[in-house]
Structure 1
Amino acid sequence: MTLIFAHRGSSGTHPENTMISFQEAKRAGADGLEIDVQLSRDGEIVIIHDEKLDRTTNGTGYVKDSTLQEIKSYNASHPFGKHYGRTEIPTLIELFDWLLGNDLLCNIELKNGVFPYPGMEEKVIGLIRSYRLEERIILSSFNHYSLVHCVRIAPELETAPLYRDGLYMPWVYAQSIGAKAIHPSIKAAPDYIINSAIRAGMKVRPFTVNNENRMEELIRIGCSAFFTDFPENAVKLRQKYK
């Protein structure tokens, strides 16, 4: 069965990377979440996509330059504030506390391509282990050096390189860095690449798939999973193939 991961939660209809968005993804029947993590100035793991606060909150400046207390003071409900009121940027601890009450999978994207965030891998992995969530977590990143570091310090965790452009035999590359899956842009994931990778024992989870015709095609060919901003639509489509 093709699994459905809610990209930043149900971000097509709810404030991205917030507990509201994650709760909606669970209600919609998603199999997993996709989140993004960075570090605050005081070293706390926070869930936010952009390096800057400006797009998704009423704050300004870089996440790395704000303390957790400052980050918590910002409203993260943009652009859905009129519908859902005020909501905060969550910490990874808050999300993990909630995950203990359900069986959702969680893909954690390490946002360390622009700023390296030294020690972030160790902090995230330490938290995963302390919550005993190893079987439910996937670590992904566009920073493949970071993923190799994760494999070295936590070989029990699944890793998956993110990439946007066409790679030749990407399953071979992924195997070479110890990954168990590939997370290509949907634009770099034609059916023959998906099928070839799966035949080679590599899971394939393209991002970000919002077109319903493409969702249906991925489900039909048995793609491992995909990331979407509209998990409710994807779940309804998948029901036709059960």
Structure 2
Amino acid sequence: MLIIAHRGASGYAPENTIAAFELAINQNADGMELDVHLTKDGEVVICHDDDVKRTTNSQGLIKDMTLEELRRLDAGSWYGESFRGITIPTLQEFMALAADTHMLINLEIKNLPYYHKGIEQKLIRSVHEHDMLDRVVISSFDHYALAETARLEPAMKLGVLFSTRVIDPWDYVRKLPFAAYSLHPHYSFVDVEYIRQCHAHGYKVYPYTVNEAEWAGPLAQAGLDGVITNYPDRFR
């Protein structure tokens, strides 16, 4: 069972920052999950929300701000004074860090409620520049974005995210116009039968956000492929 750090080791450091990613590496996580947006000037940056107000000292939509404007923001002090001055990272900065590891990398496209036109091509270009096609999964709740990714790069691993309880999600995924690699459901949807059905249809299962090792133990025995967690060390 892979241990995938959710927005880095976000239980211990500001989410989606280099500090959180470096900590996930130090905690021997098997992978990292992060969220990407496009800035006003077309740069790919790492942040979960479309508005920066929760995780910085300012507010405003990422799509309406340039990279230079985002770089002026403090993305760490909201979490703790020791992280003051940390900035929102770019995808290129993260990929340079991750390229020196053997970790599975899950890039989540945040296309809702705002659609980042062209973000798929930029992610694919970065993956190829760092020679990481074999260990990157691109996921999204926007399944149209996944279809566009598949059109541009058929070899890309794609993860289908679900925030609701879809009836027989493996059947839904099987009918999509692209080949999925994995299903990424909320952890509360997952049980032994869910895992069995996904595996029978050829899909891996990476639920989010799993923070209790006691929950994952029995499902690990049932073949759960991985957990996306804020606390990688708890599972290691």
TM-score, normalised via structure 1 length: 0.93
Q: 1:93-124: per-residue Cα shift (whole Å, max 9, x none)?
A: 00111112211111000001211111111111
1:13 alignment counterpart:
12
Bigger drift between 14-23 and 171-180 goes to: 171-180
Check whether the contact 2:3–2:228 (CA below 8 A) recurs between aligned residues: yes
1:51 alignment counterpart:
50
Bigger drift between 41-50 and 98-107 goes to: 98-107
Cα distance in 2 for partners of 1:106, 1:163 equals: 19
Q: 1:15-74: per-residue Cα shift (whole Å, max 9, x none)?
A: 000000001001111000000000111000000000000000112110111110110111
1:240 alignment counterpart:
none
In the alignment, structure 1 segments of 5+ residues that lack a partner are 236-242
2:82 alignment counterpart:
83
Check whether the contact 1:160–1:174 (CA below 8 A) recurs between aligned residues: no
- Establish whether residue 113 from structure 1 lines up as the match of residue 116 from structure 2: no
Cα distance in 1 for partners of 2:25, 2:3 equals: 11
**Number of matched pairs:** 234
Amino acid in the other structure paired with 2:197: S
What are the equivalent positions in structure 2 for 1:59-138 lying under 5 Å apart?
59-138=58-137
What are the equivalent positions in structure 2 for 1:130-209 lying under 5 Å apart?
130-177=129-176, 178-209=179-210
Q: 1:130-160: per-residue Cα shift (whole Å, max 9, x none)?
A: 2211011100000011111111111101101
Cα distance in 2 for partners of 1:215, 1:204 equals: 12
TM-score, normalised via structure 2 length: 0.95
Amino acid in the other structure paired with 2:204: K
Check whether the contact 1:71–1:89 (CA below 8 A) recurs between aligned residues: yes
Cα distance in 2 for partners of 1:122, 1:168 equals: 32
Cα distance in 2 for partners of 1:164, 1:109 equals: 14
Question: What RMSD, in angstroms, separates the aligned Cα atoms of the two structures?
Answer: 1.2
Cα distance in 1 for partners of 2:63, 2:221 equals: 42
In the alignment, structure 2 segments of 5+ residues that lack a partner are none
Cα distance in 2 for partners of 1:60, 1:79 equals: 13
Check whether the contact 2:120–2:149 (CA below 8 A) recurs between aligned residues: yes
Identity %: 35
- How far did 1:78 drift? 4.2
Q: 3-state DSSP class of the match of 1:23?
A: helix
1:239 alignment counterpart:
none
